[in-house]
Amino acid sequence: MPTKIKIKKMYIASDHAGYNLKNIIKKYVIKKGIKVIDIGPNNDKRVDYPDFAHLLSKKIKNKDHYGILVCGSGTGMSITANRHKNIRAALCYDIKSTKLSRQHNNANVMSIGSRLTKKNVALRCVSMFIKTSFDGGRHNLRIKKI
C-alpha cells in the first residue's frame, strides 16, 4: 500500500549553474504551501557543487524532510548527496523518472540538471516529486538492502 506523504519542509540548494533555476523552483514550492529552506548559494558566482550537496544532505534528518538539488547536469549533486546515510537522491530528468524515483525508490532528494532540463519540465518534475507517494511493499524490501 502506498505511503501517503505530506511534505512540510523542503531544503533546496544549487551551485552557480543551477542558481537561477533553484530560485524559480523555490518560488514554485513556496506557492504549494511548503516551507522552503534555501541552503545557498546566494548568487551565481562560481562555487563547488559538493559543498552545497553535503550541506543539504546533512539537513535531511527525518522522514518529513525532503530536498532539491540543482546543478548543471544534476549528476554531481546526486552522486554527492548519495554518500550520506539515509539519503536517496534521484536524478530527475522527466516526469516518469521523477514519479518512479518516489514510487519505487522512496527518493527523499531530487537532483535536476539546469543545463539539460527546461524550466517548465523542471517544475512539472518538482510537482510530481511533491505529490507522489512511495508504493512500499516489494519496493520497501529493496530499499532496506541499500
Nearby residues of 51 by Cβ (< 8 Å), 6 or more positions away:
none
125 belongs to the catalytic site: no
CB-based contact 66:7 (threshold 8 Å) = yes
CB-neighbour burial class of residue 136 (10 A; exposed 0-12, middle 13-18, buried 19+):
middle
Active-site option among 54, 84, 104, 139: 104
Active-site option among 16, 71, 92, 125: 71
71 belongs to the catalytic site: yes
CB-based contact 27:17 (threshold 8 Å) = no
The CA R_g of the chain, rounded to the nearest whole Å, is 14
* Active site members: 71, 104
